[in-house]
Structure 1
């Protein structure tokens, strides 16, 4: 019997014994995982629901913080993207990707990775649905879905002011909420957030802590009860979230010569080695920043009719951001990578839903979405640049062209999607139900990409028009060829794809308190176009090559759809006369044509379809009201990830290429993907009781365990994050009426160093002629203690 099964049986035994010692009751958790309000215990899906109270008590401000509470769910910010992962499946680093995990905000699809960074404010709850969600959520949610539900306007006036202050990292978080009636049939709600963070990684070059964060959100909502049967909800919000610097470190320099030693040996580099003290400080030249602005409007209209309801959800989302990455990740002036993106999205969904409780319950609808994306990025060499010094020895003729040089890329894409979906549940007997559903999706995309080199200061002091005339073009092609970047005319692509995703679920009520289910479903994620490859996809188009190594440059462009077939066996159990709950899900999902983004070993990433993978495991979560004062919670996830076929993986430094079909690449069949810890678990305990006249004490503690994992996409064994156990705790005093509360919050009290993203440093191998390398890592926040206060009125 394996250790995970033992843990699950132990949890079941402990929970089942609860009825003998107490008569407390758990508060019911209501979710909308199937687009209608239902008890969590009635939904045949592996769902983790996190309430607003839990998020506030834990000091969670965004989805990345939330991922620490939910096994098999993680969000990782990288230098140029954000990855969202459920059960080990995520999208790679590329603006051309749709997300494998669909994020939905009040029913509106947030498919771009940058939208996962929006600060959360005044939420009702967040639901994480694990496994393919191809029917009711639909849009590319091949790994799962995250549904964010904001708080709605109230019939009675209420308001609150909350504040958090953490001195060590300079965190200040201030929130205001007002809600109540405006007229007889109109109510409104407004929520405002202002948050700053000074940072927790010391930059030895700038002399400041990083990354520094500044966030503001304002959201206004109106509810209009048009009649007894019709209600309309309008939500308008604007979010800005800006950062300066990175919570990043360069470490583990290896080889002879190694990357850092090469930099230190060049007098003009003036770089201090960032290896001596390990993962606790940064040493780049402070060129990182990210400025983001997001606006969205959502209009939801519900019309209750005789036996069913009609719902219309209209959404408009737009954002823009401007970022710069000092992506050589050192204190030397080598190169900067900037990017800008503008995005607009309009969507419309019509949904009809039957009332629950009949012999046949149904839900169906139509969905349409139109998107427009404009993406640009640039790699530029400063004046002066260390590259000039390096070239003076390797290619003296190119050295004068390096200072101030720039290579620019543009990517544009427009897309339209429409879908029809329906799902019905038949009550076959008092104990048995059958659900059958499907979604048909039709999607089109039109895209283009261009790569151009531009002139330097020696040719006028400003960036010029694209260089197309020799001898300048020849010099620049040779210069950027060293970094595997070639210029090319506009590449154009069109995609027209359709797909049908079915689901079949059988539910069985073993008794009044135990429901078991078996689900079979398919999911897909649409194909698309590589927005960031540094080369032309046609090997016959040889506009440049590496003049030092002689290697040709071949990029990538179009990639295929990704598909999944999943089966899940689960149970939802209410135990101890309502004092405890235990939910278990056993699953297996087979993925084909996985879309991955591979580092080319220099400065770029190429998109490819990796082949096949099998993901299987066990998830369990439960609650136990030990008494009226004590509540225990827990969850665990065992994950087995196996590449069944992946012959074209990027080799890690020092690895001998062994792919039989792809020259220079490695076959990783049988290996685990990055960010797939075998076991994750968390245990929480909360106590509440009167401690004096009119005073209430709340105390809680949470332990989060995570197994070791690799964090580099090339599966380099040097990029191993050791297993960790993080402890957080909170103690609060409040008045018995709940009008005010003061709390002390401790996060990561065990002061664990957790790497959430990393890999090979750009140019590490290039600067050492392939003889040495080094690694970079983004680290999570260390131990911190904050003071919280809330006043409600």
Structure 2
């Protein structure tokens, strides 16, 4: 189906969503079905979603389970203007087009919280979902009530807690095409009169869909295991104590990457281009062809990512008269080991081996007043300490084609020194954060209120980074001088040995104000002004330091320290109940103005350098709604229109062959002012239909259809116009038969039934332009999973 047909389909769907808006002219019958109320904790107290003056979407445990949403990445299908992408060396989470970029030194623009605990690094967003109560996506700066400032929004995940009745559930999913198996067990219920417990276990595997022709296997082969135990103790009506213990792992063998779309640019001196595929064939005496279109095949010598997580959360609530005192204590940690075959071919080029050890302890104490007075408030203190130890090594195998390619430049002796050598990096950082926050609501009439909030945060960071070379005999080399052989060799890849240290001590004050007006008894309108900031820090992955700090080669300019990112957000929204309670419609219009936006810029060789981009403006409209047409038929959907523009970004990275960066005079820096950011489609939307058929014998058939639409978008951080993702509509569906009061269920789940080819991330090939003397390159691209159909069985007992 062509793109314009998809657009017409999306327009027709959006028109259907707008139908409830006219329902006030023709009141629905008194026996119209009522919508189930959605409860959220976006403001740190249980509230109806209709009463919260924030652009927020919530996915219930039922929707998460029925849609087969197994991670944060798949939440994006159902929340317009929310995206998650994996890259060659990191993970990006974006809300309204704003993300942090791939650098372990970044705080998260879209911060993730699980049971109130800040999950401070993007790697944790890859962890699988298990036994959740709900997922809330809060859009816009969240700088008052959550434990860590965020400039784009927040992902708030709430795990399921023990109930008052015994519960047991066993589910198993099998998908034969990609070898997926998913087994989940949940046991829950009272242990005594005052203690309840819940145990959740996950064991899942998948072989993958991308054929690695080098190793003869499918990729990525994922293996996930999680075990979580939750205890709730209520010694009296005044106390509520919850302890959660969790241990997990999520491992991958291989990646969903293809190398494709060769790019050739004639040499300015010879007029001849050397295609990257030809260079590989020449240096390796093998056939390594870049495809023009994808076919779910790749060449690679092997990648892996092994991740282990653990977290402990203790939540204590004590009633103090009409107030509630809450203390949330958290320990969160992970380790990972990753190997990236980062030339992304089956040729022996180079790889990057990295590992990270992250530990975090946090404490929040807050007091909450009753909500029904003229004045109500929430206030508290927050503390967090964390440590990170990161190491990586760029390694050149003994049979590397890169060493062969550099023989004419370096000479045979120097090129042989490169074989088996590596350039290593170590980074350490300690961070301490303290904050005081308060939010006051003034109900100056029965239907009007003003909400004032503020947070003062102080944060200190101490960090060090060392870049050093290791010889082909395994000897760690000193920094040395510009004439040392290994320094000369690695300087060709813009790597400069150095050792730097730094410390930061910064603070920020983030006020907000919201006006909220209720009308017609069930509807609400709000206006808000919010501010936010994301703290600065230190670049983990740069291969060179700024020349004023250290380094051997003045011509290789690296990065070290970057400044905080700031935002002002203006928003107006309304939440409407229509059709006599059978429908609801939420609309939000916003404008976010960013200063010193933090970005990660590929240097064209092997490094990502952090820089502050300058200024950007993001504005748009978000709409979502539900309509219970009849008791057993529900229509739901949402859309987001996003307008993103860099208003001042003179130091963006250049894409390969960009006209104002042509060798030999190009310096790799291009002006992106006026450009749109990658992964920001102008229009995103989804629509879903749930239709239930109840049979007289007690059986029930639930049919669900979801259409997910995205406009075209750029896929590369360099904003390369030659590689964009076309507009698409993805189709997901589920048919489930259940009986005996839902004690059993058998379901068929189809995802991406139209078999759309969707690129979630792409970038230029590392070292390709270097090997071809700047005349040939290509792209590596991450693809989403193609069509899959799975069978799932569930037993409740």
* TM-score (normalised: structure 2): 0.95
Kept in 1, the 8 Å contact 2:626–2:637? The answer is yes
Q: Counterpart of 1:20?
A: 28
1:612 equivalent to 2:615? Answer yes
Deviations 1:706-750 (A, max 9, x none): 000001111000120000100011111000401000000100001
Q: Distance in 2 between matches of 1:373 and 1:333?
A: 32
- The answer (yes or no) to whether the contact 2:107–2:121 under 8 Å persists in 1 is yes
Q: Does 1:486 align with 2:496?
A: yes
Tell me the secondary structure at the aligned position of residue 394 of structure 1: helix
2:659 is paired with a residue whose SS is coil
Written as runs of structure 1 = structure 2, the 5 A alignment for 1:392-471 is 392-396=407-411, 397-457=413-473, 463-467=474-478
Correspondence for 1:260: 277
The 5 Å alignment of 1:123-162 reads 123-162=132-171
Provide the C-alpha distance between the structure 2 equivalents of 1:469 and 1:368, rounded to a whole number of angstroms: 42
Structure 1 counterpart SS, 2:531: strand
Residue 88 in structure 1 maps to residue 97 in structure 2: yes
> Any conservation in 2 of the 1:249–1:274 contact (CA below 8 Å)?
no
Kindly tell me the number of residue pairs found equivalent between the two proteins.
775
What is the Cα deviation at residue 468 of structure 1?
Answer: 5.3
**Which of 456, 460, 485 is matched with 1:475 structurally?**
485
The 3-state SS of whatever aligns with 1:54 is: helix
- Once residues 503 and 578 of structure 2 are traced to their aligned partners in structure 1, the CA distance between those partners, rounded to angstroms, is 55
Q: For residue 391 of structure 2, what is the aligned residue in structure 1?
A: 376
Compared with structure 1, are the counterparts of its residues 765 and 491 closer, same or farther at alpha carbon in structure 2 (3 Å cutoff)?
same
| CA deviation map 1:185-204 (0-9, x unaligned) | 01100000000010011111
**Deviations 1:228-275, CA, capped at 9 Å, x for gaps:** 11110000001100000000000011112121221022244x343141
Look up the SS of the partner of 2:76 in the other structure.
Answer: helix
* Paired residue secondary structure (1:568): strand
Aligned equivalents of 1:730, 1:663: Cα separation in 2: 52
User: Compared with structure 1, are the counterparts of its residues 30 and 778 closer, same or farther at alpha carbon in structure 2 (3 Å cutoff)?
Assistant: same
Paired residues of 1:657 and 1:664 also in contact (CA < 8 A): no
Structure 2 SS opposite 1:486:
coil
Q: Does the CA-based 8 Å contact 2:429-2:461 persist in structure 1? A: yes
Q: How does 1:280-359 map to 2 (within 5 A)?
A: 280-286=296-302, 288-359=303-374
Q: What pairs with 1:487-636 in structure 2 (closer than 5 Å)?
A: 487-488=497-498, 490-538=499-547, 541-544=550-553, 552-636=555-639
- The question of 1:66 aligning with 2:61 is answered no
SS at match of 2:653: coil
Contact in 1 for aligned 2:117/2:147 (Cα 8 Å): no
Map of 1:548 onto structure 2? none
- 1:664 Cα offset (Å): 4.3
Which shifted more, 389-398 or 425-434? Answer: 389-398
Distance 1:692 1:16 in 2: 36
Alpha-carbon distance in structure 2 between the residues aligned to 1:583 and 1:694: 36
Partner of 1:666: 670
Aligned counterpart, 2:4: none
Asked if the contact 1:274/1:283 (under 8 Å) is kept, the reply is: no
Preserved CA contact (<8 Å) 2:500 2:549: no
Report the Cα distance in structure 2 between the residues aligned to 1:123 and 1:7, rounded to whole angstroms. Answer: 30
**2:269 corresponding residue in structure 1:** none
Q: For 2:292 and 2:141, how far apart are their aligned partners in 1?
A: 45
Asked whether the equivalents of residues 478 and 544 of structure 1 are also in contact (C-alpha less than 8 Å), the reply is no
Q: Is the 8 A contact 2:261 2:292 kept in 1?
A: no
Residues 454, 467 of structure 1: 8 Å contact kept: no
1:197 equivalenced with 2:206 (yes/no)? yes
Q: Which residue of 1 aligns with 2:757?
A: 753
Given that 1:271 and 1:330 are in contact with CA atoms closer than 8 Å, whether structure 2 keeps it comes out as no
Deviations 1:541-560 (A, max 9, x none): 55147xxxxxx211000000
Aligned position for 1:641: 644
Q: What is aligned with 2:710?
A: 706
Task: Tell me the equivalent position of 2:219.
Answer: 210
SS in 2 for 1:647: coil
**Distance in 2 between residues matched to 1:349 and 1:360, nearest whole Å:** 23
- 1:644-682 Cα distance to aligned partner (Å, 9 max, x none): 1000011111113379xx954111111100010000010
Whether the 8 Å CA contact 1:274–1:282 is kept in 2: the answer is no
Q: Secondary structure at the match of 1:750?
A: coil
Structure-1-length-normalised TM-score: 0.95
Structure 2 distance, partners of 1:541, 1:432, is: 59
- Could you tell me how far 1:16 is from its partner in structure 2? 3.9
